[in-house]
Amino acid sequence: MPTRYVESSRLPTAWGVFDIHGFDDLEANKEHVVLTMGDVGDGEPVLARVHSECLTGDALFSLRCDCGNQLEAALKAIAEEGRGALFYLRQEGRGIGLLNKIRAYKLQDAGADTVEANEQLGFGADMRDYSVLKPMLEHLKIKQVRLMTNNPRKVAALESAGVAITERIPLRTDSNPHNEKYLQTKGSKLGHFFGH
């Protein structure tokens, strides 16, 4: 199997104590984690978020995107419910990697939008691969989710992995002068839906 479970441990956070589960993606040579709270394998729909790594937004507090805000909102929502799962996939920059993301930022500084910048670098608009989710979901025995997302590709990816999506919950975050164009492009070119 290209993706294998490695180990689990407790992870105290500002929102509560989660369990962190590590997975090794042998095919892509990447390590992914899932944070869970409560019993997620009981067959009932699980509040879930599939989050792709964004070092600049998640850890360095960049205002160019809404990634860090979405990550925090998802962890807070799971903690408030006392049950849920956050899949943290190592797919930086929509799958193009950190250094190429910085190159894309430079092109955006010159006027390109986020999709145009990726394409000018020779990549697709979104290079992420969600197939890695299937073995992770199977290991955690998650079959139904209430998915926190604005991204229709994530809905399709989970459905193709055999997961029933019982509800889609939009993640609303505030815009700022640095990410207004980015958010508009996600809606107009990538089909993200921000309403109910």
- The C-alpha atoms of residue 183 and residue 160 are separated, in whole angstroms, by 26
Strand pairing report for 84-89 and 30-37:
antiparallel
Mean pLDDT score across all residues of the chain: 86
Residue listed under structure tokens 């042998």? 26
What is the C-alpha radius of gyration for the chain, rounded to an integer number of angstroms? 16
Handedness of CA 91, 52, 147, 81 (dihedral sign): positive
Tokens of 88: 């943290």
Give catalytic residues, as residue numbers: 126, 128
Domain 3-91+128-190 classification at class level: alpha beta
Does the annotation flag 54 for ligand binding?
yes
154 annotated to bind ligand: yes
Report the distance separating Cα 114 and Cα 178, nearest Å. Answer: 12
The answer to whether 65 is a known ligand-binding residue is yes
Q: Which of 177, 94, 191 is nearest to 149 (CA)?
A: 191
Torsion of the alpha carbons at 77, 83, 89 and 90, rounded to the nearest 10: 80
Q: Residue 181 and residue 179: Cα distance in Å, rounded?
A: 6
What pLDDT, on a 0 to 100 scale, did the predictor assign at position 193?
59
pLDDT tens, position by position, 150-193: 888 788 878 887 788 999 998 876 666 665 655 555 445 455 55
Lowest mean pLDDT, pick from 19-33, 52-66, 170-184:
170-184
* Per-residue pLDDT tens over the stretch 107-151: 989 988 888 888 888 888 887 888 888 899 999 999 999 999 988
User: Which uninterrupted H or E stretch holds 19?
Assistant: strand 16-25
Q: Per-residue pLDDT averaged across 17-26, rounded?
A: 96
User: Is pLDDT larger for residue 191 or for residue 99?
Assistant: 99
Backbone angles phi, psi at 98, to 5 degrees: -65, -45
pTM of the model: 0.86
Q: What is the pLDDT of residue 196?
A: 42
Determine if residue 49 is labeled as part of a ligand binding site: yes
Q: Number of helices and strands (H, E) in the chain?
A: 7, 7
pLDDT at 94: 78
Comparison of pLDDT for 65 and 181, the residue scoring more: 65
- Residue spans per domain, the chain: 3-91+128-190
Confidence of residue 39 (pLDDT cuts 50, 70, 90): very high
Q: Is 131 a known ligand-binding residue?
A: no
